[in-house]
């Protein structure tokens, strides 16, 4: 099933052991246009931050309830890489700028 990313922004992330945050953004591989990571905002948790969850960790998407279930635990998500510390070229995380 296909899902629009603009509709999935804000979906709640449900880890194997409970809720952890919500989808804030997506990182897409431009060479194949495949979803690489969900950017998850865990700021509603003490010490929360924006972390990356690999698309391979998605177990299922529950659109009616706006939930994305993942195979990771909350502890694994909280200790996962942030957008700032992940080995991603910073140029790939900034919006495109068009000068005309």
Residue 60 pLDDT level (bands cut at 50, 70, 90): very high
- Looking up tokens 């510390």 gives 85
> What single DSSP character describes residue 9?
T
Whichever domain contains 15, its CATH number is 3.90.50.10
In-domain check, residue 16? yes
Question: Is residue 49 scored above 90 in pLDDT?
Answer: no
Query: Rounded to whole angstroms, how far apart are CA atoms 74 and 34?
Result: 25
* Cα 100 to Cα 95, 97, distances in angstroms: 16, 10
Structural domain range at position 32 = 5-92
List beta partners, residue 28: 35
How much is the pTM?
0.79
98 assigned to some structural domain: no
The pLDDT-based confidence of 39 (bands split at 50, 70, 90) is very high
* Distance, C-alpha 47 to centroid of its chain: 17
Is residue 97 assigned to a domain?
Answer: no
Q: Is residue 22 part of a domain?
A: yes
- How many independent structural domains does the chain possess? 1
Residue 100: inside a domain, yes or no?
A: no
């Amino acid at each position: 099933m296909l899902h629009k990313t603009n509709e999935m922004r804000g979906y709640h992330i449900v880890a194997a052991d409970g809720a952890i945050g919500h989808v804030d953004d997506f990182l897409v591989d431009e060479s194949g246009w495949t979803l690489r990571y969900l950017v998850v905002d865990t700021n509603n948790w003490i010490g929360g931050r924006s972390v990356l969850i690999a698309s391979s960790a998605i177990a299922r998407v529950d659109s009616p309830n706006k939930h994305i279930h993942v195979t990771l635990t909350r502890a694994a998500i909280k200790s996962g890489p942030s957008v700032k510390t992940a080995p991603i070229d910073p140029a790939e995380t900034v919006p495109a700028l068009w000068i005309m």
